[in-house]
Structure 1
């Protein structure tokens, strides 16, 4: 039986062990774990049929004790020998959407992002709305349009109206944008009326993924008052194929920035759920931003607590995302509307001034976090290419 070679500097070493769903030619999708550049077929390696399913949902629903037991067994396997029939080169597999997404919520948890957009959209008012520092602001997205990395993104169409235009028109978005985010996946559901406290976060949430919440800024700007984002957001959200278990992120846990005023009691917890994770945004192969998750004002534990405080139930496979991750510096902004200041300050991409996405553009977002003993944990990447809108203008 072979032994897996794990380079010392691998972002996918034994301290990571992310889960995904993969297939090989002529086989059905099933659950695997990545170690270095190898994928382990867990149903074949562990003999547990829960990993023969085409999504992670059945395994995630088993809960933290089962997650810990599986991680211990996988670690033991990796340190020893694994049957050759359970091993596949990463280059030879196809990666699929890792979960059946039950529900999707996107938050607005970065103070820097919210402040920048407030200055852009409401230059004569306070950049933050009065409620922003009292609760994690969010909106419901569309779970059926969550896609795995590598899926092409069709330019959306909709109503758009520039400030100088007298009336709206319909057609392809002219201001197509990205949002670099982290997403969190619920494993253990909650019942209607049941509240998940911030300190119960790890009892329900299985792991994290990188998210690109594609945004049509012109459609969004025209539609979002008074009820918020709809068609400008619901056409596509991309996630990375590897789910990083919370257990792999222990060394990345930090305090959130100081929260003033103090949140209401239901949003307070003893556990630290800020995360020291750095993202990298590449536009057509050029690095344009490195958003730091450590600056996020609201933690994912607070986001989940707020989601359930009204009695809303959660389901296995629920995805909730952080909203755009932005830091205090210009090169830490996680959306092109911020990087280019609404299009007024183009950035150079291969010698060309650019503001928003054009057909054929490709965006890749990756993330890394500190691991134990000075190691680094990789999330992999979420990648998408823009293809032309379907249909003519109306």
Structure 2
């Protein structure tokens, strides 16, 4: 490692996180799309995560209705099956790049897998059958308007077909094709999720017919994603980007080279990458606290989270599969976890002693969150030991 490389301290990395992820009050976003762009994409596996992640980054606004408007009226945010074969919400400006860099490949793999299962089932279902089933599903949406998967299946007899997967094997199972066909249409960008049935915390979405995103060269799209990711998460490593995207190592390296990443030194003696020229010292923002939901991008943006998370706190804050639960932050560092009880009360536990100022700021942020939630109740899809203890 060259001592001439610019040094980015751990404190500066935390300063960057507070300002660039729009968690410091003075840096908060004015729209949900702006909040998403700040971290490139918002995790959307759990419907409530999108709302809570956006809320933490927004100036005071209209509550969940503001984010619902972005998702279902303005459509300035859209859900895509993309990085790591996971659902993310991204701004419509970034969506074509996410689609070309990642979602197209996932969609192609999904189609190959489904066609393989259809062929193995032995009922004569093939690519022509699948194309007709997809066309009929889109026609049903055009006729009915926004519809749930069950409503689409009720209108399309082919989607009520069942197939046997793994025939003759230990994992043999019978499955309906409706979910798989709908997932494929969504992965192809021919349908998108619309308002759910029930409240904003529901995952039972309606679907609407839409047009696929414009085609872009995959390499160009990956370079744009890498450029934006470096700005939001740098200093970071190619291992971090590979983990975050799910791309091959070759694609990661080509994207970083195309983005023109610069190298910097870290305090532990290792090197990392930043956006071109992004090496100036990062001044501290004002002190800030945040209560972030499980899977929030600020906790999930790196494979190595050592600069903002004490390894001793991992067992309490992660589930068995490595999903991060609800977290309490102070000035760019995870210091505890939080939960909402059935009564609506927001409770938390600090795993470190950050001092009185931090405790007061966390208390104020908990009040802000409770007011924003109102009558809504949120239980994370991926529950962690600390969250379960706090609820109990």
When normalised by structure 2's length, the TM-score is: 0.24
When normalised by structure 1's length, the TM-score is: 0.24
Q: Who wins on radius of gyration, i.e. which is larger? A: 2
Structure with a larger share of its residues in strand: 1
**Structure of higher RCO (CA pairs closer than 8 Å, 6+ residues apart):** 1
